[in-house]
């Protein structure tokens, strides 16, 4: 009986330690020597695959800067593992500890803040539509009767439906499993438009077989803060991430990193996304914050 009680106590203590570490990233990686970065396969210049298990992009590089400081805090060299995530599974994988830091194209909004935390905003996005250049479509109203693609699990789905109801625009929705799949629907004629974050549209157009065949048109559907996602209730790691990013913003280094990924030729095809730095992003850098999308909608 005593042995059984002792075994139960050991299991409880071990479980308690594991539970505590699950919400203490610094302690977790100090113990394991491993940190897992969530990355996207086709999130424009923010996060994308180079093939062979390698990933690159603006948010990937910013996360690498954060992880360099995480190594210092852990006091040891860390092995960085890359875990591809999708719009559907990215939040659960952060919540359950599979991913320690998600470096993709995630909108910070009030609903998601109930489940996860976000570092300070590093990019402010405008949701737009991409179409074939010869389609004749120049506005959202002209989507009436058309087929519109977007990506499952993204905020663009809700925005699209809200616009449909508010403006009496009747269109058919089709959903890609990821951004590359959604763009392929437009590229192959299965959709007349692709609604998504402007930089994701620009990134997919830049790497298309014939970029001149596509253009981004119409009014801005929404302005949204995009941020690096972290586990909830882990104030030490959030502070480390926020301080790292705030230092890059204060020094001006973040502007150079942005220019590298959005205005210079990037691997693997050495194409330029060609997306100028927006005023909303500049403002976010000037006053670092983790305000949700709802705060932007009030303006």
Q: How many CB atoms lie within 10 A of CB 239?
A: 11
Over the stretch 98-146, which tens digit does the pLDDT of each residue have?
A: 999 999 999 999 999 999 999 999 999 988 999 999 999 999 889 999 9
In order of their start, the domains of the chain are 22-124+225-297 (3.40.190.10), 126-224 (3.40.190.10)
pTM: 0.80
> What distance in Å separates the CA atoms of residue 187 and residue 1, rounded to the nearest whole number?
68
The pLDDT confidence band at residue 94, using thresholds 50, 70 and 90, is very high
Radius of gyration from C-alpha coordinates of the chain: 21
User: Please, are residues 282 and 249 in contact by the beta-carbon 8 Å criterion?
Assistant: no
Over the stretch 190-234, which tens digit does the pLDDT of each residue have?
A: 999 999 989 899 999 998 999 999 999 988 888 899 999 999 999
Q: How many CB atoms lie within 10 A of CB 202?
A: 22
Residue 156 token pair: 């663009």
Burial 91-116 (b: 16+ CB within 10 A, else e): bebbeebebbbbbbbbbbbeebeeeb
> What distance in Å separates the CA atoms of residue 246 and residue 129, rounded to the nearest whole number?
32
């Amino acid at each position: 009986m005593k042995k059984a009680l002792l075994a139960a106590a050991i299991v409880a203590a071990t479980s308690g330690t594991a539970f505590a570490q699950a919400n203490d990233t610094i302690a977790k990686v100090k113990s394991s020597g491993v940190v897992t970065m969530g990355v996207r396969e086709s999130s424009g210049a923010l996060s994308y695959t180079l093939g062979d298990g390698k990933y690159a992009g603006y948010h990937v590089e910013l996360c690498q800067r954060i992880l360099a400081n995480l190594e210092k805090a852990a006091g040891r060299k860390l092995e960085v593992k890359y875990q591809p995530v999708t719009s559907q599974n990215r939040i659960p994988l952060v919540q359950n500890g599979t991913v320690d830091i998600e470096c993709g194209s995630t909108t910070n909004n009030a609903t998601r803040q109930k489940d996860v935390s976000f570092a300070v905003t590093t990019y402010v996005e405008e949701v737009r539509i991409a179409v074939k250049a010869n389609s004749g479509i120049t506005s959202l109203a002209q989507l009436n009767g058309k087929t519109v693609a977007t990506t499952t699990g993204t905020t663009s789905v809700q925005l699209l439906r809200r616009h449909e109801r508010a403006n009496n625009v009747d269109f058919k929705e089709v959903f890609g499993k990821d951004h590359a799949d959604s763009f392929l629907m437009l590229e192959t004629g299965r959709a007349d438009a692709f609604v998504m974050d402007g930089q994701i549209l620009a990134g997919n157009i830049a790497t298309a077989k014939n970029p001149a065949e596509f253009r981004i048109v119409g009014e801005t559907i929404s302005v949204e803060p995009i941020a690096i996602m972290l586990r909830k209730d882990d104030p030490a790691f959030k502070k480390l991430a926020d301080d790292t990013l705030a230092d890059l913003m204060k020094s001006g280094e973040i502007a150079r990193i942005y220019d590298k990924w959005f205005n210079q030729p990037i691997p693997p095809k050495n194409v330029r996304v060609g997306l100028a730095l927006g005023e909303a992003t500049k403002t976010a850098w000037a006053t670092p914050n983790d305000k949700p999308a709802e705060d932007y909608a009030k303006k």
